[in-house]
Structure 1
Amino acid sequence: MAKKTDKKGTSGRGQRDLTVKVKTARGRKMSSTLWLQRQLNDPYVARAKSEGYRGRAAFKILDLDDRFGFLVPGARVVDLGCAPGGWCQVAVPRINALGDNARKPQGRIIGIDIQEVEPIPGAELHVLDFLDEGADDKVKDWLGGQADVVMSDMAASASGHKQTDHMRIIALCEAAAELAFDVLRPGGTFVAKVLAGGAEGDLQKRLKQKFEKVDNVKPPSSRSDSSEKFVVARGFRG
C-alpha cells in the first residue's frame, strides 16, 4: 500500500510536494518495494503516461536525438529490441514515417523484437531474434535497402550479480553493433545502451574504427543511480 507524505518545497514560498512512500507488503522483497517507490515518484514515468509514451525510456531517445539530430525526415531506422515501443513512438514523427508533412521526405522505421509488440502507427514491427543467422538480410529486405540509423535500448535480464549483468549487456551491444555494421549505409549512426565499466573497452575500440565520431552520453532522463549510458556512433565508414 502506498501513502503520500508532504514535504516543504524548495522555493521558499510554502509550496508542498507530494512524495509517495511505499510500505513493505507481506511477501514483497525490499528491492521490489524500493523499485515501486522510485517508479511512483519518477517524473519521467508520470510524463510518459501523460504524453502517451509506452515507458520512460522514450525520453532517453528524445534527449539523445535533441543533442545529436540523427532522427531526421526521410531517415530509415532500425530499432532492435523495440518492446514496448517507446523509441519507435518517438522516431515516427521525427522521421516523418506517416508522411504527415508532404514537404519533407518520408522515413521508415522497422521495429524488431523476440516478442510481439502492440501496433504503432507509422512503425513496421516484426518478430525476429536479431542474433539468428540471416537476420541482417531480413532487416535489409524489410527496409528496402540500407539503414541510416540502427538503435538499441536492449538490456539482458538482471541476474542480481552486477558484473554478470554488465557483461551480458555489453555482449548484447556488441551483437547489435555487428548487425549495424552489416545494415548501415556509409555515414549512418549507431545508438545503443551500455553500462559504465571496464568491459566495454573492446566495443569502444571497434566503434572508433568503424565510425568517424563516437560519444558516450548519460542523458538527463537516465536515473542518476543507474550505471547506464549510451554510445552514439556517427559517420559510419562503411
Structure 2
Amino acid sequence: MLLAELEIWHTRPTVPTRRVALGHMVLPVDPAPGFGGLLIGAVIAAHLGGIDDDQIGDVHRLINEVGDGQRVVQPRLRHRFQIDRHGLAVSHHRLVGDGDEIHFDFNSIGTDLSQVLGAVYAAERLAPEHRRGVLDVLQKSARWRGPIGASFIAHLAGSQTTTLEAMADPLGWALGILGFELGSKKPSNREVTRAFRVQMREVHPDHGGADIDAAKAMSDLAEARRILSAKD
C-alpha cells in the first residue's frame, strides 16, 4: 500500500549545471507529521551524510527559512530550483505499508545534495498551516544519525508505536487499545488512567498475561495513555 510518494527531478551527476525540480507528490501530513512528513524527513536523513560538511549549516538555515515561510533566494547550495523538468533525471521515494508495518523505498540516482534540496522544497509546497508543523520533523531528520527504520520513525513521530494503524489514526488506535468505543468523545484523564490500570492488570504476566506478548502490550498501553492524555 502506497502511503506517501515524492519524485525529485535533477540534473545527472555528469552534467555541469545543477538543477532541481519536483514531480509527482503524495504527502499527507495530517495528523502531524503524517506519512508525508515522515517521507520528507527520511529522504533528508538518508542523504544528508553524503553531502559536504561545510554545506550542512546552510541546509539547516534553508529548513528554517522554509518553515518560516520566507522566500528562498536562488540559486541555493549551487543548485537552482525550477519548474521545468525537461532533460532532467528522476529519483523516486516512497513510504509503503506492508500489513501493519511501514518501510521506506528509496530509488536515488542523483547526488545526495539534490535529494536533500528536493525534500526541503517539497516541504515548502505544503500548505502554510502544515509547513510549520513539519519543520520540527525536518530538523530532527537533519540531526539523525542511525538506520532509517522503526527507531527513526518513532523518533520523528514522538511515538513508541510505529504500526500502520497507530500512525494513520493515533486517536482511534489509542481508544481501541484502552477499550473505549471507537468514535466516542475523548475520555477524561481520570477515565484514561482507570482504563489503563485495568488493561495493564489483564496483560501483565503476574495476572495471567502471556509473557511473549506482555512487553509489547504494555508498551502499546503506555503509548495509548500518552496520546489520550495529551493536551489538544
**TM-score, normalising length: structure 2:** 0.21
Question: Which is richer in strand?
Answer: 1
Larger RCO of the pair (alpha carbons < 8 Å, separation 6+): 2
Which entry has the higher C-alpha Rg, 1 or 2?
2
**TM-score, normalising length: structure 1:** 0.20
